[in-house]
Structure 1
C-alpha cells in the first residue's frame, strides 16, 4: 500500500512458500524514528511529548531535535526495560534504516553534577578531582560531594557543567601534567575550541 524499502527477505529463490507466509518485510520509506529502551527504575520520569535530542553515530558532532512519540505500557519480560519511540521534530533528518543513535533526555528537575567514583580522590580529608584546563593540563580541584551512589557521586560545589575531569587513573596524576582528552567513546576532544 505504500512505497518502502525491503528490510528483510525470509525466503530464497526457488523455495516453495505456503499461503500467507511472510516473504519480505517492507519498511515504509518516510519519517524516521529511533527505538530506545528505558530502564524500569526511571520509567516514571518520561512522558509522551517530552523533548529530546538525538545524535546519529554517522554524525557525532550534530544533534537533532526530537520528542518521545510512544511509550510502551509493559516492560519487556527478558530485559525489564520499556520500549520508547523517538520522533524527529527537526524536519528532514539524514537517518537511514537500521542506523545507530544516541538519545539525550533532559531531566525535568534540577539534577546536580555527578562524576564516577573513580574520578574522586582525597588528600588530608579533602576530596578533589583532576580538572582538565583548556590547554590540556591538569589542575587539582577541590570539590564538595553529596551522598555516594553505586557508581557515581554528586558534586555540589567545585565544578561547572562544562568542566572536563579525569575519570580513571587519578592516583598517578600530578599538577600541571599534559594530557590528551577523550570522550566516553574514546574520541579526541579539543577543549580549546569549546571554550
Structure 2
C-alpha cells in the first residue's frame, strides 16, 4: 500500500486514498470558518471603543418660555361698514405698498353720494331764492324808510295827521322785519348747502375706503375674513407683518430680570427647528411686571433663519452661573423607549447603568463625538462603552 503524507499548518496527516484526503481538507476548512474564539484559527474580534466620563464646568442657565412674533405687525381693518366683495391676499403672500388687499361693496355709498349731490343742488337753488328774497326785502325797506322819514318830517311841522304817521311807522317796522327774515333765510340756505357738501365729501371719502390698500411692504401672516363677510371698524381682516425680522417675546420671572439688560446677547432655542441654540440680542424689557404671573416681558431680536415663523414656541436661556457637569459621548447612550442606559466597563466586565441625560453639545473642531450631559447615574471618571456603529 502506498502512503501519502499531507502537511497543513503545524499538523501532519496521512491518507490512504484520495477520498480520505478531500474529506480531511473540507473538515479543516470548516474548522477555520467556525472556529471557537480563543483557538489559534479564530479571527480576532473587534474590541468596542470606550470613553471616559469627564467632569466639565459648564454655564448654568434658567429658561423662560415665549413666542416668536414679528417686530412690526399691522392689523388691516375696514374704516366703513360694508360687505366684502374680494380679498386679494392669502396667508404667506408678499405685498407691496399700495397694493389692493380687500375690495368692499360700495353701492350703498355711491347712492348716498348721489343723494348728497342732489342735496347740494337743492340747497344751492334755495340759497339763490333766499338771496333774491333778501334783495327784494331790502328794496322795500329802503322805500319804507324813505317814506317814514318824509312823513315824520311832515308830522313834526303839523302837516299830516297822527294816523298817517302811525301807518308810515308800521310799514317801516314791517319792512325791517322782512329784511331780517330774508337774511335768516339766506343763512339757513347756505347752512343747508354746506351740510350737503359735507355729506358728499364724507360719501366720497367712504368710497375711497372701499379699497383697502397695504400701507407698507410686508407679508400676510393671517387671513381672518372671507368674501361675503361683513366688514366694520374694529374687525381684523388681515394681519400683516411689515418688519423683515422676528423676535422672541419671553416671560422672565422677577428673580431673573436683574440678569437681563437691553443689548445683552442670549441663547434662544426654537424646538421646532433644532436643539442648537440661536444667538439673539435683548431689545426691550417692559419695565412692569404682570401682577398675576410675577413675570416681565423681554423682547429678544432673532437672526434670519429659514423655517422661522411667527407663533413658534421658543425658550430663552438666561445664564445664572457655572456648575460641574458629567459629559459622555452621545454614542455611549442606548435608548429603549424612555429608558436610557450606558455600559460601564470595569476590567473585563461590562455593567449596564441607567442614566438620565440632559442637553447635547455638538463636537467641536478638535472633538470626536457629540457629548451629552448626564444628570444622574454617573459621577465622572467611569469608562463607558460606545455602541457599535457609532464610533467615529
**Structure 1 length-normalised TM:** 0.55
What do the CA deviations read for 1:12-54 (whole angstroms, capped 9, x no partner)?
Answer: 4312222454322212251111111100222222111111112
Distance 1:138 1:35, change over 3 A: farther
Structure of greater relative contact order (alpha carbons < 8 Å, 6+ residues apart): 2
Separation of aligned partners in 1, 2:235 and 2:314 = 32
Separation of aligned partners in 1, 2:276 and 2:289 = 31
SS state at 1:23 partner: strand
Give, in angstroms, the shift of residue 10 of structure 1. 3.8
Structure 1 residue aligned with 2:157: none
Separation of aligned partners in 1, 2:261 and 2:288 = 14
Aligned with 2:297 (options 67, 74, 83) = 83
Structure 2 residue aligned with 1:122: none
Is 1:105 matched with 2:281?
Answer: no
Contact 1:64–1:93 (CA under 8 A) maintained in structure 2: no
Separation of aligned partners in 2, 1:18 and 1:33 = 31
Aligned with 1:92 (options 292, 300, 304) = 304
Structure 2 residue aligned with 1:156: none
Contact 2:270–2:277 (CA under 8 A) maintained in structure 1: yes
Contact 2:217–2:242 (CA under 8 A) maintained in structure 1: yes
Distance 1:176 1:132, change over 3 A: farther
- Pick the structure with greater CA Rg: 2
**Structure 2 length-normalised TM:** 0.30
Structure 2 residue aligned with 1:36: 250
Aligned with 1:193 (options 342, 365, 369) = 369
Is 1:177 matched with 2:367?
Answer: no
Give, in angstroms, the shift of residue 112 of structure 1. 4.0
SS state at 2:230 partner: coil
Q: Which segments of 5 or more consecutive residues in structure 2 lack a partner in the other structure?
A: 1-214, 334-341, 345-349, 372-392
Separation of aligned partners in 1, 2:261 and 2:327 = 36
Higher helix share: 2
Separation of aligned partners in 2, 1:92 and 1:181 = 34
Separation of aligned partners in 2, 1:20 and 1:78 = 28
Correspondence 1:14-93 to 2 at 5 A: 14-88=228-302, 91-93=303-305
Q: Which segments of 5 or more consecutive residues in structure 1 lack a partner in the other structure?
A: 115-130, 140-174
Correspondence 1:108-187 to 2 at 5 A: 110-113=321-324, 133-134=328-329, 135-136=332-333, 137=342, 176-179=351-354, 182-183=357-358
